[in-house]
Structure 1
C-alpha cells in the first residue's frame, strides 16, 4: 500500500507566532489519520525546528523544508544544505517547485544534484514536475514532464526511488484562472506512474506516491483524491488556513 500524503507548502508566508498558531489549530482539529496517511508541513527555514518540536508527539505528522542547496557545504552565502536540514530533524524536502524553476532558474541537472544530497542525508524528496501553459496548449505536456523525470530522477536506483515522492504541478492552472479537471490530473498521474514503471519496474511504480499540486481546495480535494493515481496533494494557499487544510486532509481516502 502506498502512502497517502497531504503536504502544506507555506511558501514565504507567516511570522513564527502565526505559524505556531496555525500548527496548533491544525492539531486541535481532531483529525484521525488512517494507516499509511501522512500530513507534511513545509515551513520557511527559520521555523523548521519549532515545527518539528510541535509535531514530534503526533504520529503521522512530518516537517518539510521548501528547498535545499545543490552543494554539500562551503562558501554559498544564504544557502541551506541538506545536512543542515537533517540536523534539525527535517523529514522531507521539496525539490524543483515550479516557483524555484521559474524565479531561480533551477534546471533539471541542478535538481538531480539536490535529490542526491537530500537522499544522502536521509531526507525524502518531494520532487515537483509539471508543464506551463504554452506546453499544455501545444499538447506536448507528456514529453515535457517525461524529460523532467528522466533528467532529475532516472539516475537513481529503484531502492533510492522508494524514498521519493513526486508532486505534479499543472503550472498552467495555478493563478491563471484556468482549472485542471480531476480527469486531467488523473491522466498525468497515470502517465507519470507509467513512465516510472518503464524505467524502474511495475512494483516501484505501484508503491510510488504521486501528489497533485494544482490548487487543491476543500471543495475539490475529495474528487481529486478519489482518482486511482492521485495519492494526495501538495497544497499552497489553502494550507495557510487551518480549517481548509484540515478539510483537505479529511478528504484522503
Structure 2
C-alpha cells in the first residue's frame, strides 16, 4: 500500500522560492498529510524556516548528511546538527550526491557511516540504491543492488545496531530525470528481489520500499497498485504543488 511520499527538491528552488511555496501550499499540504505520510526535503539553508511554516503533521527531511560526526569538513552538515533542528528523515546514497566519487568501496563505506550516525541521532535514513543504464544492459542489476545493500547490513551487524525498520528507495540511475521508467513487471521483480535478499539476512525487520525516477501523472497508475511498493521518492514532480497533489490523490484512488 502506498503510504509515503518523499519530495526531494534538490537545488531546484531558491530560498525565497521555497518560502513562497510553503506559505502558498501549507493548508492543502496539511490536508494531504492527514491521508499519507508527506516528507519534504528542501535545501539545507531553508530547512529551519520551512519547519516554522509547514504544519507539524508534515515531516521535514534532509537531502544528505556528512559521514563524519564532527570536524574540519568544510561545507558538510552533521547528523547531530540535523537532530538538533528536529529533522525526522535523511536521504543517503542518492546518485546525485555521489556522482563524482569513483571508488565504489569508499562510496559504500561512506554511506554506511552516514547510516550509523543518523540512527545514532534518532533520524530515519532513506537509503537510495540503483544501477546505471550500462549495468542494467549487462544484466547485473541485482549484483549492484546487493552490493549497495550489503554495506548497510554489514554496518548494522558490526555495530549491533538495533533497528525495527529499514527504508530503501530504489532509484535506477538511468530513470532519474530522463522520463524513462521500468516496466511494471520489471520493477515488481526487482523490488521482490530486494525484499527477499534483505529478509534473508534481517528476517524480523519491517522493510519499507520506495520507488523514485521520473514518476508523473502518466505512469503513476501503473505503479500505485504494486503490493510490494510502499511509497514514492519524487523530484521534479514535487516542485509544482498541484502536480504533486494530483499524484498523491491518484495513488489513493481505486
Q: Same fold (TM over 0.5)?
A: yes
Q: Is 2:251 aligned against 1:252? A: yes
Q: Paired residue for 1:11?
A: 10
Q: Is the 8 A contact 1:119 1:163 kept in 2?
A: no
Q: Paired residue for 1:221?
A: 220
Evaluate the alpha carbon distance shift between residue 44 and residue 186 of structure 1 in structure 2; reply closer, same or farther with a 3 A threshold: same
SS of structure 1 residue aligned to 2:7: strand
CA RMSD, Structure 1 to Structure 2 (Å)? 2.1
Question: Counterparts of 1:1-253 in structure 2 under 5 Å?
Answer: 4-29=3-28, 31-33=31-33, 37-55=36-54, 57-59=55-57, 61-105=58-102, 107-156=107-156, 160-176=162-178, 178-201=180-203, 203-204=204-205, 207-253=206-252
Aligned residue pairs: how many?
Answer: 246
Aligned-pair CA distance for 1:18: 1.1
Unpaired stretches in structure 2, ≥5 consecutive residues: none
SS of structure 2 residue aligned to 1:252: helix
Evaluate the alpha carbon distance shift between residue 176 and residue 244 of structure 1 in structure 2; reply closer, same or farther with a 3 A threshold: closer
Aligned-pair CA distance for 1:221: 1.9
Q: 1-side partners of 2:26 and 2:134: how far apart? A: 40
Evaluate the alpha carbon distance shift between residue 241 and residue 176 of structure 1 in structure 2; reply closer, same or farther with a 3 A threshold: closer
Q: 2-side partners of 1:21 and 1:86: how far apart? A: 25
Q: Which digits, 9 at most, give the CA deviation of each residue in 1:65-109, with x for residues without a partner? A: 101000000111111100011111111010000111213456111
Q: Is the 8 A contact 1:119 1:160 kept in 2?
A: no
Q: 2-side partners of 1:241 and 1:229: how far apart? A: 27
Unpaired stretches in structure 1, ≥5 consecutive residues: none
Aligned-pair CA distance for 1:149: 0.2
Query: TM-score scaled by structure 2?
Result: 0.89
Query: TM-score scaled by structure 1?
Result: 0.89
Q: Is the 8 A contact 2:42 2:62 kept in 1?
A: yes
SS of structure 2 residue aligned to 1:77: coil
Q: 1-side partners of 2:126 and 2:41: how far apart? A: 11
Q: Single out whichever of 162-171 and 130-139 deviates more from structure 2.
A: 162-171
